[in-house]
Amino acid sequence: MTAVALPLSVQVAFAGIALLLCIASGISIALQRRRPERDYGELRQRVKTWWLIVAVFAVAVLINRATSVIVLGLISFLAFKEYLSLIPTRRADHRVLFWAYLAIPLQYYWVWAGWYGVFIIFIPVYVFLWLPMRMILTGETQGFLRAIGTLHWGLMICVFSLSHMAFMLVLPAENNPGGGSMGLLIYLVFLTEINDVAQYVWGKSLGKRKIVPKVSPNKTLAGFLGGVFSTAALAVPLAPWLTPLTVYQALGAGFLIGLAGFVGDVTISALKRDLGVKDSGTLLPGHGGILDRLDSLTYTAPLFFHYVYFLHY
């Protein structure tokens, strides 16, 4: 368990993120000072929580493999717990839910061991087959399909998808001379979050035409396109520092992350709308729940992972 020497690009990346957050904090404080009559409490809270998120992310990425896997596994746990707390569950499934939780340490153990073959089929195949069988042992058939469907969808989103973030850290570092073992994940998370922010900012400034009015009435076509192109534009210059991607591959990655991030966002929005809640939880003040923050990553993480894995690993 030795600390890994940090590549220069990773150090610069975190310095850059810290700088961005300082600017965000500065702006939110200045806004409140200049217009004391308006309440910027929500924005301030949001930026403060961003600091916390970046701190946790730094711990997850920078220390060593075991720490990374544990921290990211705990994030999956919180996300899955938030999901199960939101959806209706059957009393009869108490033990089944316990088994579902057990999938989390196992899935992250495969990551830690770098065992790609099991990592990639464990939840989609073995857990998928095991949980309904366990459910049948309790014998409650009323609501069976809904119970097993919602449970497995939650595991796929909160555990399987998100665990791809952790697997990026155990891919061989020598395939990524610029970013080492951490570059890919920093690249993915940074671009996904920037895409969220860019879609919001573009949408606020010139958005008119609604893109998915039934699911997310605040989302506009201009916000979506502005976000995707901003992300793609940023993906290209960052790629040589953090990834093995060529210019055209990086452009593709940028569009992929922009598009997938949007889909992840509205997918969780659809879930919340179905359940009649505004936020998925209260864990992250100013943001809502942990799923409200991870929504885009549930789509970008596996898609970007397999894109890069196919091209370079």
Partner 1 sequence: MLRGLFYLLLVKPLVLFLIGLNVRGRQYLPSAGPAIVVANHNSHLDTLVLMSLFPQALLADAHPVAAADYFFRNRCLKWFALRIIGIVPIDRRPAAVGGDTLTPLLRALDHGKILLLFPEGSRGAPEQLGKFKSGIAHLLSKRPEVPVIPVFFSGLGKCLPKGEFVLVPFFVDVFIAPALAWNGSRPAFMAELAHAFALLRDEAQPLPFDGA
- Tell me which residues touch partner 1 (CB under 8 A): 77-78, 81-82, 84-92, 94-95, 97-98, 101, 140, 142-143, 147, 281-283
Beta carbon nearer to partner 1, 35 or 95? 95
93 within 8 A of 138, measured Cβ to Cβ: yes
Beta carbon nearer to partner 1, 2 or 142? 142
Beta carbon nearer to partner 1, 44 or 90? 90
Beta carbon nearer to partner 1, 92 or 106? 92
* b (16+ CB within 10 A) / e for 237-251: ebbbbbbbbeeebbb
Beta carbon nearer to partner 1, 95 or 204? 95
d(CA 45, CA 28): 10
What's the min distance (Å) between Cβ of 140 and partner 1? 7
Beta carbon nearer to partner 1, 97 or 251? 97
What's the min distance (Å) between Cβ of 91 and partner 1? 5
185 within 8 A of 165, measured Cβ to Cβ: yes
In terms of C-beta density within 10 A (0-12 exposed, 13-18 middle, 19 or more buried), how is residue 274 classed? Answer: exposed
21 within 8 A of 51, measured Cβ to Cβ: yes
What's the min distance (Å) between Cβ of 86 and partner 1? 8
239 within 8 A of 253, measured Cβ to Cβ: yes
What's the min distance (Å) between Cβ of 150 and partner 1? 12
What's the min distance (Å) between Cβ of 183 and partner 1? 31
Q: Is the dihedral of CA 67, 70, 75, 78 positive or negative?
A: negative
In the structure encoding, which two tokens stand for residue 198, read together? 């860019």
**Which residue, 258, 69, 272, is CA-closest to 157?**
272
What's the min distance (Å) between Cβ of 83 and partner 1? 10
**Which residue, 176, 165, 179, 167, is CA-closest to 11?**
179
What's the min distance (Å) between Cβ of 242 and partner 1? 32
Beta carbon nearer to partner 1, 21 or 97? 97
In terms of C-beta density within 10 A (0-12 exposed, 13-18 middle, 19 or more buried), how is residue 182 classed? Answer: buried
What's the min distance (Å) between Cβ of 84 and partner 1? 6
Report how far apart, in Å, the C-alpha atoms of 191 and of each of 17, 42, 59, 82, 103 are: 11, 23, 19, 25, 29
Beta carbon nearer to partner 1, 99 or 109? 99
In the structure encoding, which two tokens stand for residue 280, read together? 């998925």
